[in-house]
A and B are shown apart, each in its own frame.
Chain A
Amino acid sequence: MSRVLVGVKRVIDYAVKIRVKPDHSGVVTDGVKHSMNPFCEIAVEEAVKLKEKKFIKEVVAVSCGPTQVTETIRTALAMGCDRGIHVEVSGKDYEAMGPLQISKIFAALAKKEEASLVILGKQAIDDDCNQTGQMTAALLDWPQGTFASEVTIDGEKVKVVREIDGGLETIKISMPAVLTADLRLNTPRYATLPNIMKAKKKKIANMKPADLGVDEPPTRLAGVKVETVDDLVAKLKANGTI
């Protein structure tokens, strides 16, 4: 029961009023306040709590993106993570990146770091994909406890209370496993100034997706508009999808 990997994503702060770029190519991000995805904060808090309860020895915070994401990793360190890993992806690659590539990176890291748990936020507030946790578990072939509102470690198993549409579901899964944090899992602590100071001394390792054997995200092909359903079916048959 040694190591937990926590994924943190740098997103536009939840309180910011989002503006669309004049050329409609995306959302204005320059000069806009960014912070850690709120669900990632909850994930970090849970990991640090597990460490404080002595269930795990080390918490590693991971983030993928350009240089600015190190700020987010530092916040995680200030909350109590032991060290950080910055997987560098910038520019166009970063914009094209989605849950599949992130999951591949996390899966590779989980194996490399021999993690017992990977804890992620249930979704990011910018794209609301709600896919990364599930994909990571699938790639690793690990059990998953998603939408967790309560996590208890019981020997080699994890008891997860999940918030689902019908109410609450309790499952018991074996480790290693992937968990995704939901809103009511905990209340993240505020980073205190002394902890921020201590965090400065903690290490952040730098690497590229290629180092983990993960390839570049594929270029996205343009879509085609069709007039009728029959056209759609014909096109899909033609390119072999059905």
Chain B
Amino acid sequence: MLLGKVSLTPALCTALRISPAFSGIQKQIGAAATQNARLYASSQAAEAVLDKQAVGTTTATKAATAKKAQSVESQSFAVNMFKGQINPSQVFPFPSVMNEEQTQFLQELVPPVSKFFEEVNDPAKNDSLEKVEDSTMESLKEMGAFGLQVPQDLGGVGLTNTQYARLVEIVGQHDLGVGITLGAHQSIGFKGILLVGSPAQKEKYLPKLATGETLAAFCLTEPASGSDAASIKTLATLSPCGKHYILNGGKIWISNGGLAEIFTVFAKMPMMDEKTGQMKDKITAFIVERSFGGVTHGPPEKKMGIKASNTAEVYFENVPVPIENVLGEVGGGFKVAMAILNNGRFGMAAALSGTMKGVITQAVDHAANRVQFGSKIHTYGAIQEKLARMTMLQYVTESMAYMISGNMDSGSKDYHIEAAISKIFASEAAWEVTDECIQVMGGMGFMKGSGVERVMRDLRIFRIFEGTNDILRLFVALNGFQDAGKHLKSLQKALKNPLGNAGLLAGEITKRAKRTAGLSTGLTLQGSVHPELSHSGNLAVKAIEHFGVTVEDMLLKYGKNILHEQFVLKRVADSAIDLYAMVVVLSSCSAMETYLMKLPTNSSCADVASRGSLELCRLPAL
């Protein structure tokens, strides 16, 4: 049947929109089995021919290529978005991961927690004291708030991510300072033990951490190492006896630094790199107890917001850490740090969606009562527009938080881009919403008494810590580009063996030909979104197609150097965030029994569509 090697001819390259010089396929250019090339160059003819040929291909090869394609293929929506594809498995339908028992349990947890925050916790007092009141801390510990995700058999409440998100929403609604105290302890402070700790480490530390008897802190940042986490200088050297690591260094801006007993500390260690045979500095994570000796801390930092949360410098001076306290693998600390931060990120979106709910309630309350020029101000369009925008932003954030927690609870390991997107979106949305709330409330919003100015001050840090929004944008863009690039590379590989990859190639050629002709490539959200949202669904699909094309253009233009093109990366990330936002609300609204949120959904999508096309259009010009 078929017929020698097919080489990459210029014609084929045009069909696949790959620059012949793109990646090492140069060798194959020249010699051409022209007959076959011509066949491939025409899409329709190619399909017809390829179908016949596909029949002849052995099932083994088919299965092998199919398997290879699948193992490379990510289920993450964002990842596929960068390839201009829609993988709906994680977004449609909106994840509903709790069984009846879990839902009922959660419904029982919400009232006591809400009641506590409404009646007992005094955020204004916490803010002026610059600490969480002692009695409140005690009650929080009794309540079990310090071990929400620790398994029940180790003394915790054993909540799933979705249940945790719901409770964190309540905390965020009332007091972000307390939220950070709790979050620094369990969302990052001892999360490492939960994620990668050995059974012995879990048994030893988790019970006391769960009851709040001991508090935890996450120690990564140093004076010279913030975003550049890999450059930390805190040093761990193996003691002569070989039973301890001796820790030396200083960490700054550590939440709970002055209160914690248990620290997750990241330090560098010189290690032999197996591949190069040279000594290299690798980071290792350690569980450090204050009781080991040599651990001291500085006074509480004076901050703009989250004043109730203790932030302090922590110093390690010849601290002996038993080798059993290495967390994860020796030298694998960076991965541990990233895993911890990724795992806790959805919590921020959840908390901030609660914060927004709280301030929106205040704004609405004010607007519904304040009379000016003879009418209640909520009757005026200017105010209505503000309230509408605030609601849209809150709805997107809430939908993102629960979509991600739902995906995580379903076992997905592939949520990092989405988690980063949600943190960026949530922190910026919360800032805008609270700012608008103050505006709606006028002078009252500016006064300490109403509490909104405190929320505003508390919120500022959310765009900075846990990965600055700027770094996270680069992360989103680069991760997306990397996968899209891999896809392109796999296409090129497929080209080397077109017969074995006939189906894959035919699909690609058809898609691109259709695109060039201005036809829809068959991507659709019909069936996934509610009929009343179908227009918005189409906007989303168009935007994703446009996005995929732009990403490819950028890759073709810059290749590996895309790494340095931060102007492009930022804009691509912004588009990715916008697109994910669109899709998330489409899914969320379609899943609701009453389409209450139709208006915000359609408005959000229209908003993004008009903004998105502008952003993406500007890119090629850069």
Interface residues of A (CB under 8 A from B): 35, 71, 74-75, 78, 190-194, 196-197, 199-200
What distance in Å separates the Cβ of B227 from its nearest Cβ neighbour in chain A?
Answer: 36
What distance in Å separates the Cβ of B595 from its nearest Cβ neighbour in chain A?
Answer: 17
The answer for the CA separation of A95 and B290 in the assembled complex, in Å, is: 61
The winner among B108, B120, B143, B148 for most chain A CB atoms within 10 A is: B108
- Contact of B497 with A by CB under 8 A: no
Asked if A191 contacts B157 (CB within 8 A), the reply is no
The answer for the CA separation of A74 and B152 in the assembled complex, in Å, is: 19
Number of interface residues of B (CB under 8 A): 19
Tell me whether chain A's interface is mostly helix, strand or loop, or mixed: helix
What distance in Å separates the Cβ of A30 from its nearest Cβ neighbour in chain B?
Answer: 13
* Contacts A193-B109, A193-B112 supplied; 20 other A-B pairs, CB < 8 Å: A71-B108, A74-B108, A75-B108, A75-B111, A78-B112, A190-B112, A190-B116, A191-B112, A193-B143, A193-B144, A193-B145, A193-B148, A194-B144, A194-B157, A196-B108, A196-B109, A196-B112, A197-B105, A197-B152, A197-B157
- The answer, among B111, B143, B157, for a CB contact under 8 Å with A35, is B111
Asked if A192 contacts B142 (CB within 8 A), the reply is yes
What distance in Å separates the Cβ of A86 from its nearest Cβ neighbour in chain B?
Answer: 15
The answer for the CA separation of A191 and B108 in the assembled complex, in Å, is: 10
Asked if A190 contacts B107 (CB within 8 A), the reply is no
What distance in Å separates the Cβ of B310 from its nearest Cβ neighbour in chain A?
Answer: 23
- Contact of B139 with A by CB under 8 A: yes
- Contact of B38 with A by CB under 8 A: no
The answer for the CA separation of A35 and B113 in the assembled complex, in Å, is: 14
The answer for the CA separation of A176 and B395 in the assembled complex, in Å, is: 56
Residue in A closest to B148 when the chains form the complex, CB atoms: A193
The answer for the CA separation of A75 and B107 in the assembled complex, in Å, is: 11
- Contact of B376 with A by CB under 8 A: no
- Contact of B115 with A by CB under 8 A: yes
What distance in Å separates the Cβ of B208 from its nearest Cβ neighbour in chain A?
Answer: 14
Given contacts A35-B111, A75-B108, A78-B108, contact A193 B157 (CB under 8 A): yes
Which residues of the other chain, B, contact A199 by a CB distance below 8 angstroms?
Answer: 108
Tell me whether chain B's interface is mostly helix, strand or loop, or mixed: helix
Interface residues of B (CB under 8 A from A): 105, 107-109, 111-113, 115-116, 120, 139, 142-145, 148, 152, 157-158
- The answer, among A35, A190, A197, A200, for a CB contact under 8 Å with B120, is A190
Which residues of the other chain, B, contact A191 by a CB distance below 8 angstroms?
Answer: 112
Which residues of the other chain, A, contact B115 by a CB distance below 8 angstroms?
Answer: 190
Asked if A192 contacts B143 (CB within 8 A), the reply is yes
The answer for the CA separation of A200 and B144 in the assembled complex, in Å, is: 16
Which residues of the other chain, B, contact A200 by a CB distance below 8 angstroms?
Answer: 105
What are 22 A-B interface contacts by the 8 Å CB criterion?
Answer: A35-B111, A74-B108, A75-B111, A190-B112, A190-B116, A190-B120, A190-B139, A190-B143, A191-B112, A192-B142, A192-B144, A193-B113, A193-B143, A193-B157, A194-B144, A196-B105, A196-B109, A196-B112, A197-B105, A197-B157, A197-B158, A199-B108
The answer for the CA separation of A196 and B158 in the assembled complex, in Å, is: 12
What distance in Å separates the Cβ of A109 from its nearest Cβ neighbour in chain B?
Answer: 24
What distance in Å separates the Cβ of B391 from its nearest Cβ neighbour in chain A?
Answer: 19
Residue in A closest to B108 when the chains form the complex, CB atoms: A196
The answer for the CA separation of A89 and B157 in the assembled complex, in Å, is: 34
Residue in B closest to A74 when the chains form the complex, CB atoms: B108
Which residues of the other chain, A, contact B148 by a CB distance below 8 angstroms?
Answer: 193
Closest 7 pairs (CB-CB, A-B):
A193-B144, A191-B112, A192-B143, A194-B144, A193-B157, A196-B108, A192-B142
The answer for the CA separation of A200 and B109 in the assembled complex, in Å, is: 12
Residue in B closest to A200 when the chains form the complex, CB atoms: B105
The answer for the CA separation of A109 and B50 in the assembled complex, in Å, is: 80
